[in-house]
Amino acid sequence: MSITRRQVLAGLAGLGVVGLGATAGVRYWLGRPLFADTHDYELIAAPADLELVPGHQTPAWTYGGQAPGLELRSRQGDWLRVRFINHLPEPTTIHWHGIRLPLEMDGVPYVSQLPVLPGEYFDYRFLTQDAGTFWYHPHTSSAEQLGRGLVGPLIVEEAQPTGFEHERTLGLKTWHVDEQGAFTDFSVPRQAAREGTRGRLTTINGERLPVLELPAGHVVRLRILNLDNTVTYRLNLSEGDARLYALDGNPIAPRPLGKEYWLGPGMRIDLALRAPDDGREISLRNGPLRLATLRGLATSQPAGDWPAPLPPNPLSEPDLQTAETLSFNFEWAGALSSPVKTGGFTFWQINGQAWDINDKTCADRPIARLKLGQSYLFELRNMAQYQHPIHLHGMSFKVLASNRRKIEPYFTDTYLLGKNETAKVALVADNPGVWMFHCHVIDHMETGLMAAIEVV
């Protein structure tokens, strides 16, 4: 992982150019596109007090002055350029979850870049090859940084117009705050060894139990993102007519939402919902619990039909005839006498190897080396009674089969591996680099459940 100090120097030199410090004012909060049609953003991470609990302030960390962060947008086939400026009191990076990009832009400290120090900036720029609903977040001190609010949606619009005329982005997060809005522990070892540390205040776009007004009778694209560290939301819209159009950014043959969709941390769905009639309300729920009220509001436009399926993304189809099989066992390591090396806890491991977030050299010892261009079949085996949303950077994979449920094969970047489930997924190793492969329950990832996969 040869990273030079060049990036750091560039960052320091840049301070004069953008004129931060004394002159930093309101305009830096806007994170506005600098040139609207080339998707250039200036995005600042900085502390800001948010009123998550009415009448109380929460000392959040924000992207563009808000949490969830500013919604970034690009178009398929275009470049996205983001000048990222760190005004936090500690180093950070941005990882672009689900985006297939070159390693240097992947935002993993000491693997793809050096951390962006307070006062520095980093220019992220990459081609957005796939349309869909993605998101961004740091890959440093994740429990705290994501916990404090550094999570934001990244929408890549289809190259051609789709049949959707209306859309809404719904970012789900369950904050670790008490009744006064003060942060509670982002990570409790006892919980990290189990399902992960849960927050208590469930919000959509930072709001508890919002009421969303939708054009009555029209089909609306709901982009629902799980931006939470821990919680798997069991989404249902039982009173509404809703169809799934994409999973984790990748289009599928549309099908009814069904009884419930389990959206694990890091996962997204694109739903088409026929909005209720004027004045009628339906609930979006997590299991039995209401997340939001969706209310129909009369419009003068005539309602359209269900849109055609979304066009597929340009992903390579794995060749199962020649694919090499690799097994990955996700295990609890708490019972093993894993030495507490650098002060952290080790509760989880992949194939007997636990990642140590304090050891900068872990990525030098990848758990697997894949040959560029070759197809692979991964057998993902959950040996534990807690579920793991398994996520891979840099490449999308195709989910083929599970011993626990019926699978319509689909491409994704995150698969929710249920308790004691074994799943088969396949991919073409078509992106050279060292790619993180981890559970997206942040507590699990930070206590061992992460590895690097190298493609050469």
For binding to ligand C2O (CB under 6 A), which residues are involved? 95, 97, 137, 139, 266, 391, 393, 436, 438, 440
Q: Which does 428 bind (CB under 5 to 8 A by kind): ligand C2O, Cu ion, none?
A: none
Of positions 235, 284, 399, 441, contacts Cu ion by CB under 5 A: 441
Q: Which does 94 bind (CB under 5 to 8 A by kind): ligand C2O, Cu ion, none?
A: none
Q: How far is it, in rounded angstroms, from Cα 397 to Cα 110?
A: 25
389, 383 Cβ separation under 8 angstroms: no
Binding range to Cu ion, per CB under 5 A, among 9-17, 153-161, 239-247, 440-448: 440-448
Q: Which does 438 bind (CB under 5 to 8 A by kind): ligand C2O, Cu ion, none?
A: ligand C2O
Nearer to ligand C2O, 176 or 438 (CB): 438
Instruction: Tell me if 97 contacts Cu ion by CB under 5 A.
Output: yes
Nearer to ligand C2O, 11 or 394 (CB): 394
Of positions 44, 204, 439, 452, contacts Cu ion by CB under 5 A: 439
Q: Give the closest residue to 296 by CA, choosing from 314, 274, 325.
A: 274
Nearer to Cu ion, 42 or 413 (CB): 413
* Torsion angle in degrees (nearest 10) through CA of 275, 232, 445, 401: -90
Nearer to ligand C2O, 106 or 243 (CB): 106
Instruction: Give min distance, CB of 394 to ligand C2O, in A.
Output: 10
Burial 284-321 (b: 16+ CB within 10 A, else e): bbbeeeebbebbbbeeeeeeeeebeebeebebbebeee
Instruction: Tell me if 438 contacts Cu ion by CB under 5 A.
Output: no
Instruction: Tell me if 137 contacts Cu ion by CB under 5 A.
Output: no
Nearer to ligand C2O, 148 or 438 (CB): 438
Q: Which does 266 bind (CB under 5 to 8 A by kind): Cu ion, ligand C2O, none?
A: ligand C2O
Of positions 212, 444, 446, 453, contacts Cu ion by CB under 5 A: 444
- Tell me the Cα Rg of the chain: 21
Nearer to ligand C2O, 285 or 391 (CB): 391
Site for Cu ion, rule CB under 5 A? 97, 388, 393, 439, 441, 444
